[in-house]
Structure 1
Amino acid sequence: MILALFVVFILALIFRQSALALLVATILVSLGMARLWQRWALRRVEYRRTLSQLRAFPGDELTLTITMTNRKLLPLAQVQVFDAIPNGITVVGAPVIFSGSRQVSIIRRSTGLRWYERVIWRYRLHCERRGAFRFGPAQVQSGDPFGLFRTAETFAADVTLLVYPKLLNLTDLGLPARDPLGLTRAAALVRDPLRVVGARDYTPSDPLKDVHWAATARTGTLQTRVYEPTTAHVLALVLDLDTFEFYFQGIDPELVEHLIGVTATLAHHSINAGHAVGLYVNGAPVEDEHLVRLPPGRSPNQLAQIMETLARLTAYSVLPVARLLRLITTDLHPGATIVLIGAVASEPVQAALLRLHELGFRIVWLFCGDRPPPPIPGVQSHWTPRRITDQQAINQSHTPGG
C-alpha cells in the first residue's frame, strides 16, 4: 500500500497535480507516523499485579490490584488488556471470558494512557479450592491513534497465591478434640531424637543409627547418643493419595481433598500441642519430581512448610504407600508415632503397618474409606469416613503458626 501511494505521489509530481500530490504526501506522512507510533506504543509500559495476601484458605476473599504505567511522553489512545485468572479463583462482580482450555478465565479491560500516566484496577477474588495459583500471563494490545496498526506484548505471570487445605473439626472426624491420637495414653516420657544431651558407651542392643561418631572418634570406643527425655512426641504423618487399590481405577478427587484436609488438621493440632511433626506423602508437589519427605520438627516454620507443601500437592500418587512406609524408617527412631492417613486397606499396606509395629514404632491408622479398616495387632485404628460438609469445615483466616 505504501509503495503504491509513493508511486502515485511521484506521478502527481510529474504531471504537476499539486492537490493530489499534497493529499498523497499527507497520507504517507500519516502512515509513517502511525507506524512509528505503533512501534513505540508499548515500550516503557509497565504491568504489575499484587495481591492483598499471598496465603489463604478456601472460602477466603482477597484483592487483586493491577497497575499499568506509561513511562514515556508518547500517549496511548487505546490499550486493551487480557489478563489470565487461574481456574479455582473466582473474580467477584466483574465480567470475565473463558479460554478454550477452561484452565483460566480472562479479565478484559480497555483504557487510554496519557504520558507518564498510571491506571489501577482492583478486583475482589474468591478462593474456591486448595492449590498453588499463578496469575498471568497478560496480553496488552495497543497501536496508533488512527487504528491502522496494532502491536501486542505479553507480560509473564509474576505472582502466586497459595490456598491451604481446609482445617476440619476433630470431633467431626470422630476424634477427641483434646487428644485425637491418644498420645497421653502412651509412655509418659519418651526420648526426643531432636535433642542430644550427651553420649555413653555403646551396647549391642543400641541401633546403629544412634552411634555418636564424633564421640567415638574422640574416645576411641563406640559411643551412643543420649537423648533428652520429654513428654512431647515425635509424629510422622504419612499421607496416602491412592483412593483405589489399583491405578487403572482412577482417582476420587473429592476423597483426595478430604485426605489432605485431615492431614493438615492433624499437623496444625499436633504442632500447636508442642509435638515434633513430619510429613511424608507418596506424591509430589506441583513442578517437583521428588516425593514429600519432611523430617519431624517443631520449629516455628515447620507448620508453615507442611501447609505450603500440602497446598502445592498434586492429586496423584507416584509410589505405593507400603513402599513409602518402609523408606521412612531411616528418618525415625523406634518409639516415634507413625500416623497413616489413607483410604485403601490393601494387604501390602496392612503388612507394612504390622512390620512397623514390630520394629518398635507406635502406629495410628486414620482410615477414610467407606468401610471400617480391618483390625491389625498393635495398630490403633480410627475410621473417619468422608462425611464432612463445607459448613463444618473451619476456614482459617490466619497463616499457619500464627
Structure 2
Amino acid sequence: MRFRGRLGDFPWLEILVVIVLAAFTRSPALIALGAAGIVAWSLVEVTGRLALRAVEVTATLEPRRLIAGETATLTVRVTNRKPLPVPWMELTVDLPDGIEPLGREPGTRAVAVNAGFAPRGRERLTLRFPLHVRQRGAYVVGPMHLRAGDWLGFVQDDREVPLALELVAHPAPIGVVDRHLASLRPVAESATRRGLVPDPLRFRGVREHRGGDPMKEIHWKTSARLGTLQTKLYEPATSLDAVFLVNVASYDQYWIQIDPEGAELVIAATAELVRFAAEAGRQVGLVTNGLDNITHERPRSALARGPRALTRSLDILARLGPYAVAAPETVFLKERGRLSSGATLVAVTPNLRPRLASALVVLRRSGHRVLALTKDPPEAGVLLRLRAADVSTVALDVGTLGAGRWRRAV
C-alpha cells in the first residue's frame, strides 16, 4: 500500500493549554481534564497509526472476458492480521468509463464502487461487487483506496493499493433473421466438400482408392510401396476458411470519422460472423485498418482454427477504436501477399466506395472468393462493377432496439 496522506488532527494545543493552567492553578478539574487529554491523545496516536497496519487486501475479477452487456464480479478480500479491531474502514475501487455498479440509479454516473465496514481483530472479510459492462472494449479496474481512522475519530489514514485488473468485453452479437440464406452464410457449411474445385498444383497427400475415383489420380509409387491403391488428394482452389477484412473508415479521408455508429455496427457484425465461422469449425483470420485502443497499433490475426484463434479475433474487435490508420484499400491490398491461398475474404465496411470496390475486384482476380457486407447500399455503378467481377454484396440493416436484420443487396 502507498501512503497518500493523513487527514484531521488531534486538538493537542488546547490540551497543552489545559495542562499549563492545571500546573499553575492546581485545580483538580483541570488536572483531570489534562490527564484525560493526554490519554486521549495517546489513544489517537497509537490507534490512528496502527489502523491500516497489518491489513492485507487482494482483489480478483471474474470473468476476465465476457460479452458487452454481461456482468462481472469484483471480489475483494480484506484481512486484518493484528489483534486490534478497526472501528471503521472505507474501501473504494475506481471504475473506468463503460463499467458501472449493477443496479445503480438511472441518470447517474458511478466512477467507483465503495463499501464501509469495521473488521475485528484477526478477521477476514470478503466483499463482492457485481459490475455491469455496458459496451465493448478493454478496461482496467483500479486502483483501490483504503481509509481508516483512530478509535475516537480525530484522524484518518488514506492509502492507495496498486490494482490493475484487466477485463475485455467482446462485441455483443446482433440478431440475424435468417442464417440459411446462402449469401448470408459466407463461411457456413456447403452441401458437400466435394463441390469445391480441387487445385492439381496443391498436392495434400493420399488416401485409399475408392470405387469411382479416376484412374489418373492414382499415386502409383505410393500404391506400390503400400501394396494397395492410393488416390491423390489436393487442396481446393477455394476454401471455406475466411479472412475478415474490417474497415472502420466511413469517408475517403480515412482520418475523419463521421459515422461512429456505423463503425460499431461493422465491428458487431464481424464479431457475429467470426463466432459463426468458428462454431462451424472453420479457420478464421482478421485484417483491419483500425487502431488498437491500448497499443495504438494496427492489429491483425493470422488464419487459424480453434478457441484461441476465436479469442484472438474477438479481442481485436473488442479493443478496436473508431479511427483508421490508413485507407481500407491500401491495407487490404498490402496484405494480399499474406492471405492464405484460396481463402474466402469477407469485407465488412460502413460503405462501398469506388476505391475499395476496385481493391475487392483485384482480390477476386487473385483467386479468392470475395463477399462484401456493407451498411450503406453501394452506388449503381459500383454495384455493377462488383457483379461483373463476381463479388457478392450483402447489405446489413439494423432495426430498432439494437436488433440486427440482414437482407440481400444483390
Class of the TM-score when normalised by the shorter of the 2 chains: 0.7 to 0.9
Identity %: 26
Q: 1:137 aligns with which of 140, 143, 150?
A: 143
Q: In structure 1, what is the equivalent of residue 298 of structure 2?
A: 291
Which letter maps to 2:197? A
Q: In structure 2, what is the equivalent of residue 32 of structure 1?
A: 42
Deviation at 1:70, TM superposition (A): 1.6
Q: 2:391 aligns with which of 376, 380, 383?
A: 380
Deviation at 1:263, TM superposition (A): 0.9
User: CA offsets per residue over residues 340-396 of structure 1, 9 Å max, x none?
Assistant: 1101323331232223233333322111225567222425232323315557469xx
Which letter maps to 2:253? F
TM-score, normalised to structure 2's length? Answer: 0.75
- Checking the alignment, whether the CA contact within 8 Å between 2:142 and 2:164 is kept in structure 1 is yes
User: CA offsets per residue over residues 240-298 of structure 1, 9 Å max, x none?
Assistant: 11133335753433322211111112212223333321111112333113211111111
Q: In structure 2, what is the equivalent of residue 164 of structure 1?
A: 170
Which letter maps to 1:246? Q
| Change beyond 3 A, Cα 1:393–1:179 | closer
- Correspondence list, 1:2-401, <5 A: 2=12, 5-6=15-16, 8-10=18-20, 12-13=22-23, 16-17=26-27, 19-93=29-103, 104-171=110-177, 175-176=181-182, 179-180=185-186, 184=190, 187-189=196-198, 229=235, 232-247=239-254, 250-369=257-376, 371=378, 374-375=382-383, 376=386, 377-390=388-401, 392=403
- Checking the alignment, whether the CA contact within 8 Å between 1:70 and 1:113 is kept in structure 2 is yes
For 1:95 and 1:23, the matched residues in 2 are separated by 49
Q: In structure 2, what is the equivalent of residue 217 of structure 1?
A: none
Deviation at 1:142, TM superposition (A): 1.1
| Change beyond 3 A, Cα 1:29–1:251 | farther
SS of the aligned residue for 1:180 comes to: coil
SS of the aligned residue for 1:306 comes to: helix
* Structure 1: gaps (5+ residues): 199-226, 395-402
Deviation at 1:107, TM superposition (A): 2.4
Which letter maps to 2:22? A
- Checking the alignment, whether the CA contact within 8 Å between 1:96 and 1:105 is kept in structure 2 is no
For 1:302 and 1:7, the matched residues in 2 are separated by 74
For 1:9 and 1:228, the matched residues in 2 are separated by 100
- Checking the alignment, whether the CA contact within 8 Å between 2:251 and 2:257 is kept in structure 1 is yes
For 2:354 and 2:188, the matched residues in 1 are separated by 25
For 1:124 and 1:191, the matched residues in 2 are separated by 57
For 2:41 and 2:285, the matched residues in 1 are separated by 67
For 1:40 and 1:97, the matched residues in 2 are separated by 40
Deviation at 1:69, TM superposition (A): 2.2
Deviation at 1:18, TM superposition (A): 5.4
- Structure number with greater Rg is 2
SS of the aligned residue for 2:335 comes to: helix
For 1:191 and 1:291, the matched residues in 2 are separated by 36
For 1:275 and 1:284, the matched residues in 2 are separated by 26
| Change beyond 3 A, Cα 1:386–1:140 | farther
User: CA offsets per residue over residues 15-69 of structure 1, 9 Å max, x none?
Assistant: 5445424422331332233123222212232333334422222333444333322
TM-score, normalised to structure 1's length? Answer: 0.76
Which letter maps to 1:59? G
| Change beyond 3 A, Cα 1:181–1:191 | farther
User: CA offsets per residue over residues 175-211 of structure 1, 9 Å max, x none?
Assistant: 5488435885984335999x9879xxxxxxxxxxxxx
SS of the aligned residue for 2:118 comes to: strand
SS of the aligned residue for 1:113 comes to: coil
* Structure 2: gaps (5+ residues): 1-10, 207-232, 406-410
Which letter maps to 2:313? I
Which letter maps to 2:171? P
| Change beyond 3 A, Cα 1:87–1:190 | farther
- Checking the alignment, whether the CA contact within 8 Å between 1:38 and 1:150 is kept in structure 2 is yes
- Checking the alignment, whether the CA contact within 8 Å between 2:174 and 2:402 is kept in structure 1 is no
Which letter maps to 2:392? S
For 2:358 and 2:16, the matched residues in 1 are separated by 86
For 2:184 and 2:259, the matched residues in 1 are separated by 31
